Chains A and B, each alone.
Chain A
């Protein structure tokens, strides 16, 4: 999609992640429902990172995006049998790679 690189350029956080990882890296809020992804990096604060990790969302884990709500709503991911709703702002801090 043509607007995706634009979006990445705007956010300094994702830009940094982009430099250090493969070019296919994007953020969780941009993933479509049904897609399987691998978490590459989480750039949230200490407490949020811990909260995500406790729910099984940490660097290296594989997740499936179940839903991505419209109008700036949250992303619903399947994490090892638990569903977790992640607010859009938080999802923007989770860098991921899509898996086939």
Chain B
């Protein structure tokens, strides 16, 4: 049994998915958090079912890759039950999708989510009335608190073998209906084996949906073409627009019959929004938020780093005292403890507060406001505000950021946004900046690197937009209302992202540390360092850092740990000058995306473009590194 959660963007599908499946799907308060299908096996009163979280769609006509993935899934896979999730506070708009989904003939249950929000907005929905009008079960839920979710699945299960019956209330104007019936009869007579209901195919043909033409056959497509022209002359506008209006009217009638609207309760969030989108204060707040974010992460991180590293140093010393110096055992223990310390003492102290902060900003709904504020500026470099969402997500991790570009309709915008998103320091690279630059040279230097990075990203956007000129379609972005995130949702999200570090990167880091330790014991690392010496020489870095740059391609935070390993000390400043620390950090921040990101990039923009992106980032990194090497001594004196 396959159950699909379907609904418009940001209506809370993933929240309901997580309520049933545990924290498996990313949630966030902006449209397009989910860009691919998430699967989970669940148990429903003893029955095992597959639950699929489908990316949000406004309708079954897709405008971007995330939406086409959703549509393809619904049309091609054998879905046995659709749970149609609606944001009850946006009922009339959401019902348009419900009406469209109904035509698929798949058993369906309607989930009126965010019913508390609707209440606050003065919208009282009678779910019994709505259920009677739609001929479908309707269940009220509050997803983030888990209210009604159990009932939803119970009702869904009962419904599972009953496709939606025709409802008396849902009907279109007679002229459109008769055109539909004509197309429908052509489809039925020309093909005997239909996987989809003929009425659904007829509607889609009249809407000029190319994906359907193959399914419905040539005869039907020709008939539809003729009838579309007929509708257009009769109604004076394109057929797809007429059909959209039919659905809209029907949804409005459903809304008026089943809901009453009273005065909304006063909402302090409206006042907050007028501040955060203010032409002047909006930008001031944005700057405060970003700098504040930086200081909080640095404050917590450096405090934890000091506390944890001190303890681990003592432990390492006492362990090393047990074995004779100069032996292989000594090297192994030292390398092992370097790896352990790198994870617990250097990466985690910064990573955890960073991920918490980012999760908070995502869930509270601030990111679309940032997109709104930045749209004007981005237009100057040839991008638009929606591209800002993946780029900001890049501060968390480049991999989901590249995937998030699927919310962009244009191929060129997806390429630009994914390259820029990989240039932005992800949490791993931010950790390097915090733990190396901020910790040793002071937080102002680190802040400087973040600002410098932002400038390079903007410049790169400008440059790439000139290389691939195209008039950007312009932004149309839904800005959701603020939501106070629950602590458990935040913790779940942080853990989902942290788990990858703990189960994958950290062991890799310890293994890498051991390899490097053994390598230097037998002097293998020498060859790698010699091979990379042209690069280290150009950058003015010690030759021993050559191998660390290789490790950086595997995982960016590895470079940091390997740095201390390669130098043979954790007090970096005794071995490297301030300039060298900054050059190293800048190079690590910009050069070739890590392995996981490269794989994600190949999937999103193809091999050729990925190679191009890798070369571009490498060139930028080298140029910026050399520039920093030449300019910084004039400022810092060394």
Contact = CB atoms under 8 A, between A and B. Distances in A.
A69 B376 contact: yes
A62 B245 CA distance: 16
B478 A82 contact: yes
Given A47-B63, A51-B476, A76-B479, A70 B93 contact: no
A83 B380 CA distance: 24
B279 interface: yes
A58 B372 contact: no
Contacts of A67: 274, 277-279, 372
Given A48-B474, A83-B479, A55 B58 contact: yes
Given A47-B409, A52-B476, A80 B93 contact: yes
B241 interface: yes
Interface residues of A, number: 32
A70 to B, nearest CB: 5
Given A58-B248, A73-B375, A74-B372, A82 B90 contact: yes
A74 B92 contact: no
Contact of A84 (B240, B373, B376, B479): B479
Contact of B59 (A48, A54, A81): A54
A91 B63 CA distance: 19
A85 interface: yes
Interface string A16-47: 00000000000000000000000000000011
Interface string B384-416: 110000000000000000000000010000000
A7 interface: no
Main secondary structure of the interface of A (DSSP, over half): mixed
Given A67-B277, A71-B377, A72-B379, A50 B384 contact: no
B94 to A, nearest CB: 10
Interface string B20-63: 00000000000000000000000000000000000000110101
A85 B478 CA distance: 6
B476 A66 contact: no
A81 B89 contact: yes
A54 B63 CA distance: 11
Contacts of B480: 82-83
Contacts of B238: 46
Interface string B257-275: 0000000000000000110
A15 interface: no
A53 B248 CA distance: 9
Interface string B89-125: 1101100100000000000000000000000010000
A74 B274 CA distance: 15
B384 A87 contact: yes
**Which of B241, B278, B409 has the most CB atoms of chain A within a 10 A radius of its CB?**
B241
Nearest to B479: A83
Contacts of A81: 89-90, 121
A13 interface: no
Interface string B474-506: 111111110000000000000000000000000
Given A70-B376, A80-B90, A85 B63 contact: no
Contact of B376 (A56, A74, A86): A74
B279 A90 contact: no
Given A81-B121, A82-B90, A73 B479 contact: no
Contact of A85 (B274, B379, B472, B475): B475
Contacts of B473: 48, 90
B277 A76 contact: yes
A18 to B, nearest CB: 19
Contacts of B384: 87
Nearest to B91: A81
B381 to A, nearest CB: 12
Contacts of A88: 375-376, 379, 474
Contacts of A80: 90, 92-93
Nearest to B276: A67
Nearest to A77: B479
B58 A51 contact: yes
Given A54-B59, A67-B277, A74-B385, A84 B477 contact: yes
A73 B372 CA distance: 8
Given A46-B240, A81-B121, A69 B372 contact: yes
A83 B479 CA distance: 5
16 contacts: A48-B474, A51-B58, A52-B476, A53-B244, A55-B478, A58-B244, A58-B245, A66-B273, A71-B377, A73-B372, A73-B375, A80-B93, A83-B481, A84-B476, A89-B474, A90-B475
Given A50-B59, A66-B274, 10 more contacts: A51-B58, A52-B476, A67-B278, A67-B279, A67-B372, A69-B373, A82-B480, A83-B479, A85-B385, A87-B475
Interface of B: 58-59, 61, 63, 89-90, 92-93, 96, 121, 238, 240-241, 244-245, 248, 273-274, 277-279, 368, 371-373, 375-377, 379-380, 384-385, 409, 472-481
